[in-house]
Chain A
Amino acid sequence: MRKLAVDVVVIGGGSTGVGVVRDVAMRGYSAVLLERADLAQGTSGRFHGLLHSGGRYVVSDPGSATECAEENVIVTRIHADAVEPTGGYFVTAPGDDPEFADKFLAGAAATGVPAREISVAEALRNEPRLNPGILRAVEVQDGTVDGWQMTWGAARSAMEYGAKVLTYHKVTKIDRADGRVSAVHCVDLKDGEDVRIECTFVLNCAGPWAGQVAAMADCHPVDVIPGRGIMIAMNHRLVNRVINRLIYPADGDILVPVHTVSIIGTTDVKVENPDDLAIEPVEVQEMLDAGEILIPGFRKSRALHAWAGARPLIKDSRVSSSDTRHMSRGMAVIDHHERDGLDGMLTIGGGKLTTYRLMAEHIVDEMCRKLGETRACRTASEIVPGSENQKNYVVTHRLHDREEDRLEDQIICECELMSRQMFVKAWDDQPQATFDDIRRQLRLGMGPCQGGFCSMRATGVALETKHIDIERATGLLRLFLKNRWIGLWPILYGDQVRQTALDNWIFNGTLDIDHLPAPEEEVKL
C-alpha cells in the first residue's frame, strides 16, 4: 500500500474537480486529485463544446447569464489554446415566436450579455447554410471550447503548483475520525495497488457519481439524478458560428462548430445510472430533425459519431438554502457537517463547464471559510500552461503545423492531422494510456475514418516506444475499435456506412484482425 498525506483530496477529474484542485493548489494547500478514469472522460468531455456567451440564459435564468458572460471572457483568456471565439447567432426559425427576440434583447441588456440584432440578410451572408426562412437573428459572443484541452490545461497548472493528479485511481473508502474526514482510500486501477491518503479536507466533485462517493463516507444518500443528453458530430463545419434557436431552452436547439466538425445537441432524459447512457434511435431522429430546421439538408450531411453525457443534477431534500448562499447558479453544495455529522467534506453538484472556474472559486472559498482561513483566489488572472502566447484556437492550426514539419514528420491520422511526434510525445508522457486517452488529447480517430487508417498505425508506433508489449498493444487496438463503434452504430447512415464497410474490409478482410490470438482477458483500461 502506498501512503500519502495532503491538506485536500479532490475527488473527480472533470472540469469542476480539476478547477478545484487548481484553485486549492494556487492558494497554497497541498492537494491530490483522484479520478477513476481519464481526465474529462465523463460529463466534461461529453458535451457539445459550447462556451456560453450567456445568451442561452438571458430570459430563463438571468443570474446564470451574467456569470456566463463574465466567465466566457476569463476562460477565453486563461485557456486561449482550448477556446475558439467563433461568435454565435440566435435565430428565429420559421414557426418560432418572433417576439421572443424582444424578450431576449431586453434580457441581454439587463444581464450584461453582449447582444446585437442583425438583419437576416447579414446572418445568411455570413452563414450561407442557415435556413433562409429565419425571421430574426441576434449576434452574441458564444465560443467553442475543447473540454479535454481545457481540463488538461487546468490540471497542468495545478501540477505546477504542486498538486498531484492521479488518473485511473478509484476511491474505495473515506475514513472519518472524531467526526472529521481523516483519509481517503483508493486503488490504482492500472496496477491494482491500494493507496491511502491522509487529509484534512475532501471536496467531492464527482458530478453524476457524487452520490456514490458520498456513500463511501457513510453519509446519508445523496440523490443524484443524471440527466442524459445526446450529441451528434457532423462531418465538416456546416456553420462557422454557434447557431442557437431563439426560443426558450429546448431539445436540439444548438449547433456548435468545434474543430473540424459541427455538433448538434441535445436532449434531456432522466436516467438511473450515469455509467449506462444509451443513445436511443428516437433521440437521434429528434436531433436530425432539429438540425434540419437550422440547416436545410442537414440529414444529407455526414454524421460521424454520437455520444451521451450525464448532467450532474443533485436533488437533495437535505440541502438547506443557507448552503448555497455564496454559490454559483445551478450549483448545489452539500455540507456534510450539518447533514451527516461529518466535518471536512463538501459535495458539489450541478454547474456548467463555462463557469467551472467560478464554481471552483466559490467551493474553495467555502472550504477556506470552514477552515477559518482567508486565502485569495487567483485563478481568473493566471494563464494556464499551453496558453501563454495568448493565441486562441483556429481550425487551421494543425494544417499550419504540418506544413511546418512535413519534411521531418509523418502524419499518423490524416483526418485530424495528428503527427507521429505528437503521438509519441503523448505516449511517452502517459505510457500506460489507452488510445482513447490519447484521442481525447490529440483527436486520434475522431475524423471521418473513425480509426480506419490511424488505429493500426497508432498501435505500431505505441509498440515501438517500448512502453508496452505486444499483448497490450494488440489489446489496446481491440479496445479502441470497440469503443469507436459504440458511438458509430447509433448514427450509421449515408457515407459513414460506406466508410464502415471500407474499415471492416481493411480490419477484417485485409488484416484479419479478428483472428489474432484471442486475449486471455480483454484490455479495459
Chain B
Amino acid sequence: MIGAGVAGLTAALRLARAGLNVTLLTKGVGGLQLSQGTVDVLGYSPTDPATRVANPLAAVAELAVADPKHPYAVIGVDAVRTGLAFLHEELGEQLLVGDPETNQLFPTAVGAIRPTCLAQPSMLAGICMDGARFAIVGLRRLKDFHAELIAGNLARTPLPDGGHVSARHLTIDVPARPREVDSSGLTYARAFDDPEFRARFAAELRPELRPEETVGLPAVLGLKDPTAWSHLADLLDHPVFEIPLPPPSVPGMRLNNALMAAARAAGVRVINGSFVDTPVHSGGRLVSVNVETAGAPRTITGDVFVLATGGFESGALTLDSYGEVTERVLGLPLAGLDAAPLLHGDYWGGEQPLFRVGVAVDPSMRVTSPDGSAVPDNLWAAGGILAGAVRWTEKSGEGIAVGSAVKAADAIVEELA
C-alpha cells in the first residue's frame, strides 16, 4: 500500500482484516490531517455546483450513470455504501455519526454552510436549521478562527428551505500556554485534553452565554480525549459544536490516529518517511519498489500493489514547467489530459480541469491504461489519484476514497484467493 490518507488507511485495514500481509509505505503523515475531519460523499452536483445534494448515495447512483468519467461511475454506489459502513464500524460512534442517505449542513470557518453526511459527534449541534441560535466563540490567541466573520456570514446565509440561523459572536482570551499569543489549533486541542483547562475555559465563557444558545467553537476540543467536547458542554450547560479549521486539522488528526492505530493493531506494517521510487517490473507485473528511508534504501516486494497516493496536493501528480503531467511514483499513463485548456484564468469561473487528471481504473479498481501503453497487471488504485473528480469542489473526497479502497481491497482478496 503506497499512501496513508483515508484511502490508503482504509484499504490497508480492510486487507489486513481479510488476513493479508500488508506493508504501508508513506512519505508523510497522510492527507486526513489536512482535511475537515468529516466524511463527504457528495455535497454538490458536479455538473451544477450551485445545487446542494440532499441524499448523497442517491446522487452517487445518478452520477454513476450520468458521468461515465467520474470515479463514482466505476466505483458504484454499492461499494461506496460498503466502504462507509466499514469505516463507520472501524471508527465507531464516538468518532463518526450520520446517515449516508442524508446530507446535513454545517458551518465552516468563514461562515458558509457546507453539506456532509458523516460528521464527528462534536460537530452535530452545529447543524444549521431554521431558528437555531448560535453563539460563535473565538479565541483571541487562535488566529484561524474569526468569530465575527463566521457569525456574520452565517446570519446572512439563507438556508435551503428559506429559514435562517441567528448567530452572534464573542471572543474570549484563555491562553493555551502561558505567555503564548500565537497558539495553533493543535496546541489548544492538547490543552482541551486537560479537564482542568476545560474547567478554566468554561468558567470564563459561561457568564457570557445567553439562555437557549448553542455554542460554536473552533474544532480544537481535545485530540486524545473523545469526551472533551461533551464534558465542556456539561460544564457550560449549553450544547457545544466544533467548526473545522484550515490545517492542521484536529478532527482530521483524530480520524487519522484512530485508523492508523487500527491498521497497526490489525497487523499492517507501516514504514513512515518512505519516499517510494525505482519500481521494478517483470512479466507485466510490478515486482518491487524502493523506499528511501532512514538508514539505507530498502526494496519492498509484493504480490500486489495499491497506489493510494492522492492527487496534486500530495505531490503524487506533478506538472512540470513544460506542461507535462506525471504520476510521480510509477510514471503511469494518465486520464483527463485531453481537456483543453487544463487551467484558465477566471478564479470564480468554475473548476480547473487540471485537477480532474488522474489514473484510470476498471470496475475492480485495477489500474488501466487510457492510451494503450503498458501498466502492471497487479496494480490497483484508490482515492485522490483517480481521474475524473475535483473532490474539493463537489465534496466527494472521502466517499471516493473509501468506496474505491474497499472495492480494491475486496478485489485483491478475491484475486489472491
Q: Which residues of A contact B (CB under 8 A)?
A: 285, 288, 299, 303, 406-412, 420, 453, 456-457, 459-461, 463-464, 469-471, 473-474, 477-478, 481-482, 484-486, 489-490, 492-494, 497-498, 500-502, 504-506, 508-517
B112 x A516 contact (CB < 8 A): yes
B246 x A510 contact (CB < 8 A): yes
Q: A509-B392, A514-B49 are in contact. Are A470 and B153 (CB under 8 A)?
A: yes
Within the assembled complex, what's the spacing in Å between the Cα atoms of A477 and B393? 18
B153 x A517 contact (CB < 8 A): yes
Q: Which residues of B contact A (CB under 8 A)?
A: 34-36, 43-44, 49, 108-114, 141, 143-146, 148-149, 152-153, 156-158, 179-182, 244-247, 249, 311-315, 318-323, 343-345, 347-348, 352, 354-355, 391-393, 395, 397
Residue among A288, A464, A498, A501 making CB contact with B146, cutoff 8 Å? A464
| Closest chain A residue to B52, Cβ basis | A515
Within the assembled complex, what's the spacing in Å between the Cα atoms of A407 and B178? 10
Residue among B182, B245, B319 making CB contact with A493, cutoff 8 Å? B319
A409 x B392 contact (CB < 8 A): no
- The B contact surface, by secondary structure, is loop
Residue among B110, B145, B345, B391 making CB contact with A509, cutoff 8 Å? B391
A459 x B146 contact (CB < 8 A): yes
The list of the 9 closest CB pairs from A to B, nearest first, reads A460-B146, A509-B392, A470-B152, A501-B313, A485-B347, A512-B114, A501-B312, A512-B112, A410-B182
Within the assembled complex, what's the spacing in Å between the Cα atoms of A341 and B300? 85
A506 x B395 contact (CB < 8 A): no
Q: A509-B392, A516-B112, A516-B157 are in contact. Are A486 and B345 (CB under 8 A)?
A: yes
**Whole-angstrom distance between the Cβ of A433 and the nearest chain B Cβ:** 17
Q: A456-B110, A514-B49 are in contact. Are A463 and B158 (CB under 8 A)?
A: no
A409 x B355 contact (CB < 8 A): no
B111 x A406 contact (CB < 8 A): no
Q: A482-B348, A497-B312 are in contact. Are A456 and B109 (CB under 8 A)?
A: yes
B348 x A478 contact (CB < 8 A): yes
Within the assembled complex, what's the spacing in Å between the Cα atoms of A517 and B111? 10
A463 x B146 contact (CB < 8 A): yes
Q: A485-B347, A509-B391 are in contact. Are A406 and B323 (CB under 8 A)?
A: no
> Which residues of A have CB within 8 Å of B145?
460
Most buried by B among A470, A484, A486: A470
B152 x A505 contact (CB < 8 A): no
Q: A494-B319, A515-B113 are in contact. Are A461 and B181 (CB under 8 A)?
A: no
> Which residues of B have CB within 8 Å of A459?
110, 146, 149
Q: A510-B244, A512-B114 are in contact. Are A494 and B318 (CB under 8 A)?
A: yes
Inter-chain pairs besides A457-B143, A459-B110, A494-B321, 14 sampled, C-beta below 8 Å: A410-B182, A456-B144, A457-B146, A460-B148, A474-B149, A489-B344, A492-B343, A493-B320, A497-B319, A510-B244, A515-B44, A515-B112, A516-B111, A517-B158
Within the assembled complex, what's the spacing in Å between the Cα atoms of A288 and B322? 10
| Closest chain B residue to A461, Cβ basis | B146
**Whole-angstrom distance between the Cβ of B39 and the nearest chain A Cβ:** 13
> Which residues of B have CB within 8 Å of A514?
49, 348, 393
> Which residues of A have CB within 8 Å of B311?
501
**Whole-angstrom distance between the Cβ of A366 and the nearest chain B Cβ:** 42
Within the assembled complex, what's the spacing in Å between the Cα atoms of A457 and B112? 15
> Which residues of A have CB within 8 Å of B345?
485-486, 489-490
Within the assembled complex, what's the spacing in Å between the Cα atoms of A329 and B395? 59
A517 x B36 contact (CB < 8 A): no
| Closest chain B residue to A481, Cβ basis | B347
Within the assembled complex, what's the spacing in Å between the Cα atoms of A409 and B393? 35
Within the assembled complex, what's the spacing in Å between the Cα atoms of A473 and B110? 11
Within the assembled complex, what's the spacing in Å between the Cα atoms of A459 and B49? 24
B112 x A420 contact (CB < 8 A): no
> Which residues of B have CB within 8 Å of A482?
347-348
Within the assembled complex, what's the spacing in Å between the Cα atoms of A490 and B393? 22
Within the assembled complex, what's the spacing in Å between the Cα atoms of A498 and B311? 9
B392 x A508 contact (CB < 8 A): yes
| Closest chain A residue to B393, Cβ basis | A508
Residue among A409, A486, A517 making CB contact with B181, cutoff 8 Å? A409
A489 x B343 contact (CB < 8 A): yes
A410 x B141 contact (CB < 8 A): yes
> Which residues of B have CB within 8 Å of A285?
322
| Closest chain A residue to B31, Cβ basis | A505
| Closest chain B residue to A464, Cβ basis | B148
B181 x A407 contact (CB < 8 A): yes
A506 x B149 contact (CB < 8 A): no
Within the assembled complex, what's the spacing in Å between the Cα atoms of A492 and B319? 8
Most buried by A among B44, B110, B157, B344: B110
**Whole-angstrom distance between the Cβ of B250 and the nearest chain A Cβ:** 12
For this complex, 26 residue pairs linking A to B, each with C-beta atoms less than 8 Å apart, are A407-B179, A410-B181, A463-B152, A464-B148, A473-B149, A489-B345, A498-B318, A501-B313, A504-B355, A504-B392, A505-B313, A508-B393, A509-B391, A509-B395, A510-B36, A510-B108, A510-B249, A511-B109, A511-B112, A512-B43, A512-B113, A512-B395, A513-B108, A515-B112, A515-B113, A516-B111
> Which residues of B have CB within 8 Å of A508?
392-393
> Which residues of B have CB within 8 Å of A500?
312
> Which residues of B have CB within 8 Å of A502?
34, 247, 313
A456 x B321 contact (CB < 8 A): no
B110 x A511 contact (CB < 8 A): yes
**Whole-angstrom distance between the Cβ of B174 and the nearest chain A Cβ:** 15
Residue among B35, B153, B179, B314 making CB contact with A516, cutoff 8 Å? B153
Most buried by B among A406, A420, A512: A512
B152 x A510 contact (CB < 8 A): no
Most buried by B among A285, A407, A457, A511: A511
Within the assembled complex, what's the spacing in Å between the Cα atoms of A456 and B150? 11
> Which residues of B have CB within 8 Å of A489?
343-345, 352
